[in-house]
């Protein structure tokens, strides 16, 4: 593509289909991640492994995401969009088939790692496609649609997984994805357009090693915290190592002529505040997504399938609202929808903290319905608001940072919730149900504090931004 042949932004069926085709892989990755949590007992029995071992089904996947996503900006500059999509699709399909046919636990983990490669390429690619090709006056709506594809997956996964595992076994979770992945590949190849020129981009092994090792230490630390606690020497040591390595990466990258990820994006206050807000909300949402089904099974004696379905009402609300939230941004600017969404998030956690554990788990499900309103109005809009402050050439770097840190935030949120509940259960081993209730109550109050901080960040990030997005970027 030459300077005289500038890509024309247009919203048509081809763009929407392309976004959905790429999003199928990201959606499938999250569905498998949440569905397989329900399969842990079956996997432990079939392969004769312990809890600490079976968790690598999730931990390994998160590790690969954390390593692949930061280099998505480099991949976007170096390779054509359709080629990246095909590589991601084939990797995810190969990983899915390996998982479905796995004769042992090691091949199953290997399949999840390969799936992580596909999803790690696909998720940033989907948002890059929207940022590069959607008309500015419809950017909020299209970012909402892209976010919706993955936002509903944590709610669908437990219920779908509970049904499939109970009826057909854990391998069915992978087999059911195969036809969707094949259709996704065909649709993506037919609809994805190239909107930016490609050029050789040098790869820095030193920067990659620093970032990959740092994120690996962080993911292993958060995974270990649920059993060892955040105060254990091993977890603390890994957290310190993660901070040191990521800081070293930032220093090396800032001084490099060919940075792997241009960390200068964090010098823009609106971008940095927006990414912090999204991370805190994501951590809260995934902590609730883990906690509510777990509480339902342990403290309320609910079956796995019924517990997994508790999040579905919220999933339906989120599915309906997320594109609407983007349209509000397009029409009114970022301040109103983002601040309103943050207020709903705070209200949700106030209700959880005050009355969440005083009734059945069904009450939690109805309170949770408010949380997707927070997501629908504020999460994708905060991403749009933060990324729009970056020059076009830095937007892939901002997108890579958003998706990577969002994934890590979700892992940390789940680990914190699991650690608090586990600590409460250790303190009262004679009554696990009561201990789980007490731990759940502490988690709710903790998450309320997190959402109050997030709401403050939302207010500061939006400032006086009340103009429609297309007007603001002109």
pTM: 0.80
Question: Which pLDDT score is estimated for 328?
Answer: 80
Q: How sure is the predictor about 398, in pLDDT bands with cuts at 50, 70 and 90?
A: confident
Instruction: Give dist(CA 208, CA 70) in Å, integer.
Output: 9
Average pLDDT, the chain: 84
Arithmetic mean of pLDDT, 135-144 = 79
99 pLDDT more than 80: yes
Q: What is the pLDDT of residue 2?
A: 42
Calculate mean pLDDT across residues 61-68.
84
Residue 201 to residues 78, 183, 453, 456, Cα–Cα distance (Å): 6, 32, 39, 39
pLDDT given for residue 154 in this prediction = 67
Question: Is residue 50's pLDDT more than 50?
Answer: yes
- Per-residue pLDDT band at 394 (split at 50, 70, 90): confident
> Does residue 358 have a pLDDT over 50?
yes
Mean pLDDT of 335-341: 91
- Rounded average pLDDT over 219-227: 78
Lowest-pLDDT range of 154-163, 195-204, 230-239, 249-258: 154-163
pLDDT at 51 over 70: no
451-462 pLDDT, tens digit each? 999 999 999 998
Closest CA to 349 of 292, 294, 302: 292
Contact 418, 440 (CB under 8 A): no
Mean pLDDT within 367-380: 88
> CATH homologous superfamily of domain 267-474?
MFS general substrate transporter like domains (1.20.1250.20)
User: What pLDDT sits at residue 313?
Assistant: 84
- Residue 4: the pLDDT is 40
| Number of Cβ atoms within 10 Å of the Cβ of 124 | 27
CB 414 within 8 A of CB 392: no
d(CA 24, CA 187): 11
- The per-residue pLDDT for 52 is 65
**Please, are residues 287 and 449 in contact by the beta-carbon 8 Å criterion?**
no
The pLDDT > 90 percentage for the chain reads 27
Q: Domain 8-194 carries which CATH code?
A: 1.20.1250.20
Q: pLDDT by residue (tens digit) across 400-424?
A: 888 788 778 877 887 788 888 888 8
Average pLDDT over residues 365-370: 91
pLDDT(433) > 50: yes
The answer on pLDDT for 343 being more than 90 is yes
Residue, of 439 and 140, whose pLDDT is higher: 439
The yes-or-no verdict on residue 471 having pLDDT over 70 is no
pLDDT for residue 11: 79
Q: How confident is the model at residue 220 (pLDDT cuts 50, 70, 90)?
A: confident
> Please, which pLDDT band fits residue 304 given cuts at 50, 70 and 90?
low
Find which of 13-17, 40-44, 158-162 is predicted with most confidence, using mean pLDDT. 13-17
Chain segment 236-285, per-residue pLDDT in tens: 999 999 999 999 988 988 888 878 778 888 888 999 999 999 999 988 98
User: Does residue 49 carry a pLDDT above 60?
Assistant: yes
With a cut of 70, say whether residue 3 has pLDDT above it.
Answer: no
Rg (CA), the chain: 21
């Amino acid at each position: 593509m030459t300077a005289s042949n500038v890509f024309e932004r247009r919203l048509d069926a081809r763009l929407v289909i392309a976004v959905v085709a790429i999003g199928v892989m990201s959606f499938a990755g999250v569905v498998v991640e949440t569905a397989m949590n329900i399969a842990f007992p079956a996997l432990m029995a079939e392969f004769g492994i312990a809890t600490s071992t079976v968790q690598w089904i999730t931990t390994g996947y998160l590790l690969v995401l954390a390593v692949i996503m930061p280099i998505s900006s480099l991949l976007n500059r170096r390779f054509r969009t359709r080629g990246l999509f095909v590589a991601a699709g084939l990797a995810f399909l190969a990983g899915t088939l390996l998982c479905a046919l796995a004769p042992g636990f090691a091949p199953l983990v290997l399949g999840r790692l390969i799936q992580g490669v596909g999803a790690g390429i696909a998720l940033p690619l989907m948002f890059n496609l929207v940022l590069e090709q959607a008309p500015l006056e419809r950017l909020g709506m299209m970012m909402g649609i892209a976010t919706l594809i993955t936002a509903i997956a944590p709610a669908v996964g437990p219920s779908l997984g509970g049904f499939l595992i109970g009826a057909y076994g854990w391998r069915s979770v992978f087999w059911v994805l195969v036809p969707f992945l094949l259709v996704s590949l065909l649709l993506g190849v037919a609809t994805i357009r190239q909107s930016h020129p490609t050029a050789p981009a040098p790869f820095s092994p030193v920067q990659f090693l620093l970032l990959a090792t740092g994120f690996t230490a962080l993911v292993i630390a958060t995974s270990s915290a649920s059993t060892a606690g955040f105060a254990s020497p091993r977890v603390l040591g890994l957290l310190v190592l993660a901070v040191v390595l990521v800081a070293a990466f930032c220093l090396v990258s800032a001084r490099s002529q060919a940075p792997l990820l241009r960390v200068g994006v964090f010098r823009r206050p609106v971008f940095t505040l927006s990414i912090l807000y999204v991370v805190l909300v994501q951590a809260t949402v995934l902590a609730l997504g883990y906690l509510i089904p777990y509480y339902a099974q342990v403290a309320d004696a609910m079956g796995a399938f019924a517990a997994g379905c508790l999040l579905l009402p919220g999933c339906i609300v989120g599915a309906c609202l997320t594109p609407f939230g983007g349209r509000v941004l397009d029409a009114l600017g970022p301040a109103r929808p983002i601040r309103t969404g943050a207020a709903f998030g705070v209200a949700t956690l106030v209700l959880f903290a005050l009355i969440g554990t005083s009734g059945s788990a069904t009450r939690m499900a109805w309170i949770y319905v408010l949380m997707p309103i927070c997501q629908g109005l504020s999460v994708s809009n905060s991403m749009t608001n933060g990324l729009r402050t970056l020059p076009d050439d830095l937007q892939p770097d901002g997108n890579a940072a958003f998706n990577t840190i969002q994934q890590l935030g979700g892992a940390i949120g789940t680990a914190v919730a699991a650690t608090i509940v586990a600590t409460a259960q250790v303190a009262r081993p004679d009554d696990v149900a009561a201990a789980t209730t007490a731990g759940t109550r502490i988690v709710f109050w903790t998450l309320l504090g997190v959402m109050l901080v997030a709401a403050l960040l939302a207010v500061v990030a939006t400032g006086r931004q009340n103009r429609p997005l297309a007007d603001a970027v002109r």
